[in-house]
Each structure stands twice: as C-alpha cells, then as structure tokens.
Structure 1
C-alpha cells in the first residue's frame, strides 16, 4: 500500500473536533467514504476535560465553580462500497454534536434556600414555605445528544474526480435541568425532551492526483431543524402563580415599603403568568457547515494533511417552549419584552488542523497534529489550541489498528454569552484530553 493510503486512516481522529466550538464533537469528516475500494471502520473517542471557573461577582459573590464537565464517549463507524469503477455508496454514523455537564458545590448554578426570586431580598425559601411546595435541590446539568447517519452516493467520472451527495438522518434528545440563582425564576426548571428524528442532506466533491500525491475534498452539510416536544416543569413559576405565592410576594413588597406602582407591576406580571400554556413545540436547529480536507505527499514515507471547518453557529438559538413563553412575561420587569433565550451563540466557528504522518516501516506509521478553534462566542469553552499524536499498526495490508491522543488548551471565557446567564461566571486555565481507538478493514 502507498503511504498516501495509509495516512488517511489516522487523519479522521487527528483532525477531529473533540472539544470544538459549542456542541461540535466529531468534525463530520467524510474521509472514510473517500477510501479506495471497499472499506469498513469503527472507532471510539473518549473526551475528558476540566472546565472550572469562578463567579464573576455580578450577583455579589465570587465563589469557585468546580469542574462541570463529564467524561463522554463518542462511537463512530463507516462503510464504503465501490459498486463499480464509476459509482460508490457509503454510510457514516457518528455523534456530531453533544453536551454533558453537571454543576456541583456551592455557587450560582446549584440550588440554595437563599437564592433570590424576582425581588431583591425575597428568596426561594420564603416562596416555598408560603406555597407549601418543595424547594429546588441539586445542581444544574445539561445532556444534549445528537446522532447522525449519512447516506452518501458517489459518482467518479474518472480516477481524479469524485462527486457525492446524499441524505442525512439525525436524531435529537435533550435533558436540561437548571438550578441556582443564575437562572432566577427558572431555578428548578426541567426539560426532558422526546427523541425526534429529522432529515438533512450533504453534497461535495473530491479531487486527487496520484502523480502529485494530492487529495482534497469539500463537503457541505445542510442545517437540520428538529421539532422538539418534551416535558417542561418550572416549580418557581408554579409557586408564583399560586394564590398563596402571590399573597406572599405582595406581603413582602409591603413590608419593604415598595411603591404602589412597583407592586402593581409585579401583580400584573404574576397574573399574566397564569395565562401561559405549559406545553408546545419548539425548534432546535443544528446549523449548516462546510468542511475542507486535504493531504499532500512530501516524500514516499511522509504525508502532510489538514482540514478547515466552518459551522454557522451565529444563527443558533435554543429557547424551549415553556421557558420562552414565561420569559416574555418575566422579561417585562427587565425591559426585555421579547424574553430570554436559554442558549445563543453570536458568531460562526472556524476550526483548523494541520498534521504530518510518517511511515516507519510496512507495518507501523505515526501521526502528529496541531489545531485551533475560534469558539462560537458562548459558554465556558471559547475556542482552543491543541496538539495530537497517533500510532497505527497494520499487520497486513487489509486491516489496521490505530490509537491517538489530543491535548487541548481552552481559551479563557469572559462570559460573552448572550443568553440568560450572561456575565455570571468566568472560566480560566481549562484543558481537555481526548483518546481514540479505531480499527479499519479493506475487503
């Protein structure tokens, strides 16, 4: 086998986005589909990061926020069939977008009886005691899982060009639990969504020149909109809508000698909350993206490779139904009649990776890479720099086993996030590790 074939095996990990902007996890490479002949691969990437921070002081405290990131596992597999010299078919499965975080300790993302509710000085403990309901407990956690299966049909008019297109089937599920003062009246909010499935598409082309040991591809993936239905609960909102809750708020306002105009405004908002419907459908839009992947032989035993990825995160907004409806009412008190969004990113993300592969002998090859990610303008991870190393063993020309590791330095996040928790916390000196194991087989 030539070196340019061998090196493609390791590129999919070393150019992947294990800690990329927003929810991006795999980079959605199509390199497996561009392998010659019939090909199968299966792999697993484990991501283990440290994401800790400190409260910004905007809510009067600067307490530590312990590591909130959970270890995640991302399986992937691909099958490519060369039906005849001109037509090929491929299947690629991965989990391109996900989030898994849990907040612990004593901070604004963990519930406490003295968390403020709606009015300065009025707490969750006051409201729960007055309404006879249970206080929210525990810490915030986020679990978003998106799985994708791409069906790719390729046409090769000659040995240099490959044009491909196909549908992409995608599932979405989320479990989001908000806790703590950071989320105001949504302290205790739960969203547990049903699994939804929707379709998108991809298209692209690849060019190769065996004489120059050059190969490149450009792939566009469409946005996919999921219509999400789930169970939403907001216990603080429920307490505020109850008559005992309203009476408690009114009594507290009178005890602090609030103005009659302010009391009337609070009363109007609480009455409007009773008209909010609790169930409905909301949309979650996975953004479109563009991938450029390339490789170039430098010598018979050394290969240069890389990729550049763009994701249209600036169009991304996540506002579940009940959360959105109640936020438009509560937002009147903060001069935000359009309400709040739960998650929003304000810029597109760019990711770039460059690497070298070297063939030591017919059975052993090694890989190294460097990478950069711009971030998407939101959340505790605002882009990164990384380095990666990998090793591949090929007992025979028909199959291989490869393993690799990436270390990422996360950029500091100054909480530029435009969603509900803007400027609540800052994150510094965080990092991530990713490990990969893959097998491949030609038949």
Structure 2
C-alpha cells in the first residue's frame, strides 16, 4: 500500500472545487503543505457557467407596469490560479506558502436599451469581486504521524458594482467601487497520518479577515435631478468569512483509495453595506447579505491503473446560502460530479487534470424587493442552470 499511497495522495485534490455558495471560488485546502519532503505545485482552473432566468422589467414611462423578459447568461467565464510551496526544514519542522483566490464573482448582464425612454435607458447590472490570498504556514511534527500547524494570511480585496437604468424600477444609475485593500488573518490546524495505509486527515480553522476601506459611491439620474445626483467616499467594513475544513483520505485496497472533505463557511455574517444609501435610512442598507451558512462536502474514489496512471471520480453537494432568487443569487447550492486523471511523469514529477459538472439548485423565487440586496433585480423564474470547471495541476517533489 505504501507505494500507491504516495502516488495517490498528490492527485486527489484537483483544482475543480470552484463554483460554490455565495462568493466562494476555492475550498482553501492546505493539502499541498501536508505533502512529504520538499514539494512545489501549480494549478489552474477555468469555470464556464450557464446561468439565466426571467425578470420583470419596468416600462420606461411607467415603472408600475412590468413586462417579463429573459435574461442573458449573466455569470461570466473566469480563470483561477493556485500555487503551493512546502519546505521540510528539519525532521520536526516544515514551512510553506499557499497562493489562492478564495472569494470572487463576475456577474453582469445588459439588456437592450428602452427605445421609449428619454435617453435610451438600459437595464444592466455588473458586480465584480476579487480576492487574492498568500498564506504562510509553519508546522511542527513531533512524530511521523502528527503535524500541528499555524499560519498567517495576507489578503487583497477589490470590488466594483454598477446598477444601470431601470434594474431597480428607478431612472437612477448606481456605481460603487472599493479600490484594492489589504488585510491580514490567521489559521490553525492539525493533521494525522499513517503513510503505510495511505491514511491522512486534517482539520483546519481559518479566521475571518476584516477589510476597512473607503467605498466610492455615486448615483446619477437621467434626466438629471440634482437632489438625486449624490456621491460618497465613506469607509465601509467587509469581513471575508471564517471557515473550518475537514479533509481525509484512506486506502481501502492496494490500488484503491477513498477521499473526501467537509467544509463550513460562515456566510451568514458576510455583508456589504452602502454608506451612501444608508445615510437616508434608519438602518444600514445591505448590497450583499447572505441568510445562511454554507456546508459543502465531497466524497471520491481514486484507482491506480498502473505505475503511471491513476483515475479519480467524486461527487459533491453544496447547501447554498438561502437567499431568494436574484441576479446576485440565481442558484442555491449544487450537486456535482467530478472526473480526474493523474500521470506520473517520473518519480518526482506529476501532472493531473480534471473536469467537474455542477447541477445548480434553483433559488426560491420571492418577488419582494424590500430588505437586503434589493438593488439586485429579483428573478421571476430561474432556469435549469449548470456550470463546468476544468482544472490542471503540476507537482514536483525535491
């Protein structure tokens, strides 16, 4: 079992856990840091989603009259990169770095101009959020089975939001931007392994990371109404969520191994408030506000075909975050099926690839435009949406 265990343990976490609840684009695994000896890996994934539905569009000259129309695909394709470096400085001490992009989104759609409106108003929404993480880790191994580790995270965050024309039934355009902000966080965890049985498990807690940065906001009207043309540059606070990861693998025969993960993310405390719009309200107005925490799980099987090739198959489920259907939250969790393959180029170098299909659960339709996230247009119905992710990884042991 020992020879096959070393082979499989490097390939089971393919970079295809990239279409989860809320804004998550990575499961923030620290698997690369738990590899033996000195280890370096690079991975990339492409996410291609087909997400659409129907919305009620207000008429240009009478916003009380609504017409149901279909949206285009409003989740844009995006590419993700990950990298990991682990150095075994001493039999009892290890050090490493992990780079990933844990949270992000790229939602946008534009419908044709309204020909009867004074200035050909359009119905459009754009929301981009991007984070990049560099995590440094220090591990202590008192014996070959146990590994206690802790780390510090450096995170950057940028976001851009535009709501144009009649998306919210008003002849007002809204724009909000947060320039690149940096903040720090931490993690702690432990791992237990028995290499001769290909048994490895880890439990990791990541703390939330708080960003406090000026939120540049602006509203404009067409035709111009000076009292409604407002701007603001007030500070706002955004906390990327805390999380807990449980990951495991275990050999079951000389050529087969099971693996899986369980992840909890505290999205219920994630909010983006608008200082500009909140200034005229008795309580903060939330642009983004999730209702439930996320639970995500994966269970898979790896099979060693020969000395060079290993194949993997896994299934997954994501609980979603409970928000009603809107252009920000068209789905509410998913079921997934992933296939992967691993090729051992030589004893120290491998390449792995995978594809994962996501069947997105429909979010509940709720035509209530009051409350949090009301600037994002509610959907009148949701299509049978899905997504595909393609991943590739290279690893080198030295």
| Global fold match (TM > 0.5) | yes
Cα distance between partner residues in 2 of 1:300 and 1:159: 22
The 8 Å contact of residues 346 and 418 in structure 1, kept in 2 or not, is answered as no
Secondary structure, aligned partner of 2:81: strand
The 8 Å contact of residues 17 and 24 in structure 1, kept in 2 or not, is answered as no
Deviation at residue 65 of structure 1 after TM alignment? 1.1
Deviations 1:93-118 (A, max 9, x none): 01011100221335xxxx6476xxxx
Residue 310 of structure 2 is aligned to residue 360 of structure 1:
no
Cα distance between partner residues in 2 of 1:385 and 1:400: 29
Residue from 362, 377, 387 that aligns with 2:322 = 377
Query: 1:430 aligns to what?
Result: 385
Structure showing the higher strand proportion among its residues: 2
Cα distance between partner residues in 2 of 1:84 and 1:194: 41
Query: 2:364 aligns to what?
Result: 414
Distance of aligned partners of 1:204 and 1:423 in 2 relative to their CA distance in 1, 3 Å threshold? same
Residue from 177, 180, 203 that aligns with 2:188 = 203
Deviation at residue 384 of structure 1 after TM alignment? 0.3
Deviation at residue 323 of structure 1 after TM alignment? 3.5
Residue 357 of structure 2 is aligned to residue 397 of structure 1:
no
Cα distance between partner residues in 2 of 1:290 and 1:345: 18
The 8 Å contact of residues 140 and 180 in structure 1, kept in 2 or not, is answered as no
**Aligned runs of 1:115-134 on 2, under 5 Å?**
125=118
Residue from 90, 100, 113 that aligns with 1:94 = 100
Cα distance between partner residues in 1 of 2:270 and 2:126: 20
Query: 1:72 aligns to what?
Result: 78
The 8 Å contact of residues 351 and 394 in structure 2, kept in 1 or not, is answered as yes
Query: 1:28 aligns to what?
Result: 28
Residue 165 of structure 2 is aligned to residue 173 of structure 1:
no
The 8 Å contact of residues 5 and 35 in structure 1, kept in 2 or not, is answered as no
Q: Which moved more, 1:316-325 or 1:284-293?
A: 316-325
- Gapped runs of 5+ residues in structure 2? 59-64, 324-328
Cα distance between partner residues in 2 of 1:308 and 1:156: 24
Q: Which moved more, 1:60-69 or 1:402-411?
A: 60-69
Deviations 1:12-46 (A, max 9, x none): 226x5311000101100000000000000001100
Cα distance between partner residues in 2 of 1:201 and 1:237: 47
Cα distance between partner residues in 2 of 1:147 and 1:425: 34
Distance of aligned partners of 1:56 and 1:375 in 2 relative to their CA distance in 1, 3 Å threshold? farther
Cα distance between partner residues in 1 of 2:296 and 2:217: 35
Query: 2:242 aligns to what?
Result: 288
Distance of aligned partners of 1:355 and 1:406 in 2 relative to their CA distance in 1, 3 Å threshold? same
Cα distance between partner residues in 2 of 1:224 and 1:81: 26
Distance of aligned partners of 1:237 and 1:226 in 2 relative to their CA distance in 1, 3 Å threshold? farther
State how many pairs are aligned. 381
Cα distance between partner residues in 2 of 1:320 and 1:6: 50
How high is the TM-score relative to the length of structure 1?
Answer: 0.81
> In terms of Rg, which structure is larger?
1
**Aligned runs of 1:204-283 on 2, under 5 Å?**
204-236=189-221, 239-242=224-227, 278-283=232-237
Structure showing the higher helix proportion among its residues: 1
- Gapped runs of 5+ residues in structure 1? 115-123, 126-133, 243-272, 329-336
Deviation at residue 136 of structure 1 after TM alignment? 5.5
Q: How large is the RMSD of aligned CA atoms in angstroms?
A: 2.3
Deviation at residue 181 of structure 1 after TM alignment? 2.7
Secondary structure, aligned partner of 1:62: strand
